[in-house]
């Protein structure tokens, strides 16, 4: 289960919206960034937003657990789950970040996270301030508990 620091990061980065809206990626979204099955014009209550967040986080955590083969601290797992929650399983699976991490190059992950700051605006790929802030927070969380040591 994702820890409180990870949940706080995601809640802050996503914000809570009880009425469906179109996110910067062009997808109908509600609650804390939930997109599956959302129709514009839909409204939910905060308890439903929490339930959807719990389901979405479980999927993000499962993706991290399935694809990361090196030991992780809780803060590392939380940071990666936030990344997957935001960008999706597919982008995580093909990322250079995952490849570097699975090579044991933990120290490269913060830099790799901070490369994922672009979104589309008026058809152009631009740096998104919200993504920049989120990636910095994820990078800081990734390193918060230090790097696991190799056990003999």
Question: Is the Cβ–Cβ distance between 131 and 118 less than 8 Å?
Answer: yes
Phi, psi of 47 (to 5 degrees): -60, -40
Q: Which of 116, 114, 136, 118 is nearest to 127 (CA)?
A: 118
Residue 39 annotated in active site = no
Residue 151 annotated in active site = no
Task: Pick the catalytic residue from 23, 50, 59, 74.
Answer: 23
Q: Which alpha helices (H) appear in the chain, and where do they start and end?
A: 4-14, 46-67, 74-87, 89-93, 96-102, 109-113, 129-143
Please identify every residue annotated as catalytic: 14, 23
């Amino acid at each position: 289960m994702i820890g409180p620091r990870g949940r706080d990061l995601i809640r802050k980065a996503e914000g809570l919206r009880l009425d469906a809206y179109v996110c910067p990626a062009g997808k109908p979204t509600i609650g804390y960034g939930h997109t599956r099955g959302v129709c514009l014009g839909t409204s939910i209550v905060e308890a439903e937003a929490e339930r959807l967040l719990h389901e979405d986080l479980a999927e993000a955590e499962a993706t991290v657990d399935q694809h990361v083969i090196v030991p992780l601290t809780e803060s590392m797992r939380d940071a990666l789950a936030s990344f997957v929650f935001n960008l999706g399983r597919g982008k995580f699976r093909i990322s250079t970040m995952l490849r570097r991490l699975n090579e044991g190059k933990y120290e490269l992950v913060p830099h790799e996270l901070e490369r994922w700051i672009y979104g589309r605006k008026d058809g152009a790929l631009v740096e998104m301030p919200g993504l920049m802030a989120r990636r910095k927070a994820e990078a800081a969380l990734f390193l918060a508990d230090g790097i696991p040591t190799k056990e003999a």
